[in-house]
Structure 1
Amino acid sequence: MVAVSSFPARAVVDLAAIRANVRSLAAHAPTAQVMAVVKADGYGHGLLPTAAAAVAGGATWLGAAQVEEALALRRGGVVGPRVLTWLYAPGAPLRDAVEADVDVSVSARWALDELAAAARAAGRPARAHLKVDTGLSRNGLTPADLAAILPEVLRLRAEGAVEVVGLWSHFAFADEPEHPTVVRQGEVFAEALRTVEGAGVVLEVRHLANSAATLTTPSAHYDLVRPGVAVYGLSPVPQLGASEDFGLVPAMTLEAELANVKAVPGGSGVSYAHQYVTSRDTVLGLVPLGYADGIPRHASGTVERPGGPVRVGDRTVGVAGRVCMDQVVLDLGPGATEREGDRVELFGTGRDGGPTAQDWAESAGTISYEIVTRIGARVPRVHVDSEVVAP
């Protein structure tokens, strides 16, 4: 057990797992470079440590949704790989991004105009990736808007303000590789490539594949794949295979110490609204984590349907009753011998039969992405390296 503060819980992140996951993803897409997506504080795992681990594992690009995330990478000393940022509103610090050698996505004409202005102010050309909306109807240029913007792209290239180095898009149903929209979006993307390249734009990279497509759709690999959740060892297609089926290892283990252990009689109501009532004399254990720390309230439990799974010793029990802001209760069972201070594991690799982030996702009716990214800021991240052996 690793302790770095008085907070009685921690998210332990194995950097060796991240390195190994990137190597495994590269093997799934041998013709492409790997962009490790480290947005949202490295999917809750810690931005800078996970970015460094991903690069050590072979990632030559990093993806950061927000401009400030990309700038934090550069300020944190991440200078080797290319960095792409793509989500911003008018007035974003694009000059800072250009000066920091960050590639910037363009999803609208106004964004192209602001990026050109930023490049002029910085005194150097901006590296742009045009994003085309191939059917997600979220961010990006429609095919018609893409064609309309190309004359200005060529003018800005001639001016020396903006150089378009990439074209990209994002799938709506990549986690269902047989869905007809996957094929259709691929066709729209291919047509967009023909439009852009036919106008004389020479692209460095074409990229379409997220985690799911990296693992299941080789036709989408192009020059660069953009895995996100798979970098952290979570399967993006749990209905098709668990992490280990794709050579991935979950990097985060969420653990805590029991803060209180006590015997209660049968018929005791547990937690708010007493939606859990003990069916016999038993022992309850208190875990000092709650929805303020990212534990889903939807993973609350009843006697008939135990809540989110927690590993206690060599057994797994479910949350008993409502998840509270700062704590959850476990029914440890009659005769339980656990004591205050004993370690429990909410999720981890699953290798020892313990719960995983995917198990929590299923308990709460969500996806594993949400489970790891919602872990609260007051929960310390402890970065370890299972490949490093202490002397």
Structure 2
Amino acid sequence: MSETAQPTAAPQRARAEIDLAALRANVRALRAKAPGAAFMAVVKADGYGHGAVACARAAVEAGAGWIGTATPEEALALRAGAGLPADVRIMCWLWTPGGPWREAIEADLDVSVSGMWALREAVEGARLAGRSARVQLKADTGLGRNGCQPADWPELVTEALRAEREGLVRITGLWSHFACADEPGHPSVAAQLARFREMLAYAEERGVRPEVRHIANSPATLTLPETHFDLVRPGIAMYGVSPSPELGSAADLGLRPVMTLAASLALVKHVPGGHGVSYGHHYTTPGETTLGLVPLGYADGVPRHASGTGPVLIGGKWRTVAGRIAMDQFVVDLGGDEPGPGEEAVLFGPGDRGEPTAEDWAQAAGTIAYEIVTRIGSRVPRVYVDETIETSETSETNATNATNVATGPAG
């Protein structure tokens, strides 16, 4: 009996493989660090480049009861298209004047307020929506970014309570954010925590009864149990990336990287010694060799600052970017090896196969691993994988396809 071979799909130019089973495992590991607190899965910036819809759904399957985004537009898209259970809360915190307050209130989002202008717009949005706004008051305890300064906190609390008595808002949260929780022993951590407790006490003494109080980001969730309060907000750690090398590697922290970035070699060719490579000829071949062309560039999110230093696994060996990374492609010196066109080039992943990690690329580019995964662009399809399903999608259909992926059996 003969068998007919099934046609195989053509290799993709490039892909970012997203391991949803790893993401669920990371959520469970992080929840175990804060067993007494609710869990907010932060999926801002399209899930740190991993796909917000699929990652939000996987996180909820692993026990997250809250979803966090930066912008209201991100939150509204999730409420409309992610198919999350109705009891999952969604919060957004980066507002500008004239934002979609009414729409957010109608969508039952939790909205963050850092100053009087925002409270006034939230109240007006509630009037237009005909329902109370779920408002979380953010305190600036020392980060110096968003949040209400301690000197202005009494006015904000007083006016929020007034609006609550009028039925226009419900104060659902009091929260803040650390500046240096990723630096063990930094004195600002204790100072911010003390200030947060003071600002909490002030609000609660005057009658605020929040559902949640929260300040713990990824590093605080992992290493500072005294900061957990009612809810923790892991972001980068949920995707299996260490918040800081000082805290340990992902493996040290019990986490597994979720994204693997790979491409198919577009060309392999022989060149003589003294051959210039890529723009500016910053690399010249030291002798006769082979060059491989990787069809990814800075338009795809590969950092140009890693020119000459970025690591790639090809044919079981670490290679280094040769010369300048261009918009769509870069070159590696294969040292005479001759992998065929189409062979896989792995830029980063969990490291199981000896491939580089996002942290390796961060060090090569002089940045942080957050930026490496978040900047991977829309030309790179996300391929969602877990224990039972594999689905590919382009960024233009992220919301639809990621929803379909996440409806499969849990991994």
Query: Shared topology, TM-score over 0.5?
Result: yes
1:101 to 85, 105, 108: 108
TM-superposition CA deviations, 1:305-355 (whole Å, max 9, x none): xx1110112111110000000001010112x12011111110001122210
Aligned Cα root-mean-square deviation (Å):
1.5
Partner residue, 1:304: none
Deviation at 1:240, TM superposition (A): 2.4
User: What SS does structure 2 have at the residue aligned with 1:201?
Assistant: coil
Deviation at 1:143, TM superposition (A): 1.1
User: What SS does structure 1 have at the residue aligned with 2:93?
Assistant: strand
Q: Tell whether the 8 Å contact from 1:275 to 1:322 is kept in structure 2 after alignment.
A: yes
Letter in 2 for 1:297: R
Deviation at 1:152, TM superposition (A): 1.1
Q: Tell whether the 8 Å contact from 1:177 to 1:217 is kept in structure 2 after alignment.
A: no
Partner residue, 1:45: 50
1:56 to 47, 56, 61: 61
User: What SS does structure 1 have at the residue aligned with 2:269?
Assistant: strand
1:208 to 210, 215, 224: 215
Partner residue, 1:322: 324
User: What SS does structure 1 have at the residue aligned with 2:246?
Assistant: coil
Deviation at 1:6, TM superposition (A): 7.6
Letter in 1 for 2:224: T
2:334 to 312, 332, 350: 332
Q: 1:1-391 residue pairs with structure 2 within 5 A?
A: 8-76=13-81, 77-78=83-84, 79-301=86-308, 307-334=309-336, 336-386=337-387
Unpaired runs of at least 5, structure 1 = 302-306
TM-superposition CA deviations, 1:201-252 (whole Å, max 9, x none): 1111000010011111111111100000001000002122100111111000
| Matches of 1:21 and 1:177, distance apart in 2 | 22
Letter in 2 for 1:318: T
Q: Tell whether the 8 Å contact from 2:174 to 2:212 is kept in structure 1 after alignment.
A: yes
Letter in 2 for 1:10: R
User: What SS does structure 2 have at the residue aligned with 1:176?
Assistant: coil
Q: Which moved more, 1:75-84 or 1:8-17?
A: 75-84
Deviation at 1:386, TM superposition (A): 3.1
| Matches of 1:5 and 1:117, distance apart in 2 | 54
| Matches of 1:238 and 1:31, distance apart in 2 | 27
Q: Tell whether the 8 Å contact from 2:11 to 2:264 is kept in structure 1 after alignment.
A: no
User: What SS does structure 2 have at the residue aligned with 1:70?
Assistant: helix
Structure 1 length as normaliser, TM-score? 0.95
Q: Tell whether the 8 Å contact from 2:268 to 2:291 is kept in structure 1 after alignment.
A: yes
Deviation at 1:31, TM superposition (A): 1.4
Deviation at 1:263, TM superposition (A): 0.6
Q: Tell whether the 8 Å contact from 2:260 to 2:346 is kept in structure 1 after alignment.
A: yes
Deviation at 1:37, TM superposition (A): 0.3
Structure 2 length as normaliser, TM-score? 0.91
| Matches of 1:319 and 1:377, distance apart in 2 | 22
Letter in 1 for 2:223: T
Q: Tell whether the 8 Å contact from 1:38 to 1:63 is kept in structure 2 after alignment.
A: yes
| Matches of 2:378 and 2:105, distance apart in 1 | 30
| Matches of 2:10 and 2:238, distance apart in 1 | 27
TM-superposition CA deviations, 1:275-298 (whole Å, max 9, x none): 111111110000000000000000
| Matches of 2:383 and 2:152, distance apart in 1 | 46
Q: Tell whether the 8 Å contact from 1:310 to 1:347 is kept in structure 2 after alignment.
A: yes
Change (3 A) 1:44 1:317: same
Deviation at 1:388, TM superposition (A): 5.2
| Matches of 1:239 and 1:264, distance apart in 2 | 42
Deviation at 1:4, TM superposition (A): 7.9
